Amino acid sequence: MYLTHILFISLALFFLGVYGFLTRRNLITMLMAVELMLNSVNLNFIAFNKYVWPGRLDGVFFTIFIIAIAAAEAAVAIAIIINLYRSFKSIDVEDADTLRY
């Protein structure tokens, strides 16, 4: 059955996203890792809709709304990153330490 194979892909993508989020220290690459995780969730919704619940379209709608929210999130995150670059001249998370002490 293809469902478990698709779940394998989405699991692999999700944990690749987690790995990237934990190891990267650059804000843009961390944002890319978050996008990978969101995509794996979308793939899960579509696969379950196709193979387990094909009579309805709920997974499709969830995916559409998640994509819309991901677009909004990416836009806000990049606005914050560019603003951060203006104040610190760097987008490394270690450099933005004003609130740390």
Partner 1 sequence: MKAQEIVFYSLAALTIGSGLLAVTTRMIFRAAIFLLFSLIGIAGIYFWLEYEFIAAVQIIIYVGGIVVLIIFSIFLTQQAGTKLPPALEARKIFSGLACLAGFMLSWLLVKEHSFAASTVPPADTGVSSIGTMMLDVHKDGMALPFEVVSILLLAAMIGCIVIAMKTKT
According to DSSP, the residues that pair with 92 across neighbouring strands are: 26
Surface-to-core class of residue 17, CB atoms within 10 Å of its CB (0-12 exposed, 13-18 middle, 19+ buried) = buried
Cβ-based nearer residue to partner 1, 40 or 100: 40
Cβ-based nearer residue to partner 1, 21 or 101: 21
Shortest Cβ distance from residue 7 to partner 1 (Å)?
Answer: 5
Shortest Cβ distance from residue 67 to partner 1 (Å)?
Answer: 5
CB atoms closer than 10 angstroms to residue 26: 14
Pseudo-torsion of CA 55, 57, 60, 65, nearest 10°? -160
What residues line the site for partner 1 (CB under 8 A)? 1-9, 11-13, 15-20, 22-26, 28-29, 31-33, 35-36, 39, 42-43, 46-47, 50-57, 60-61, 63-65, 67-76, 78-83, 85, 91
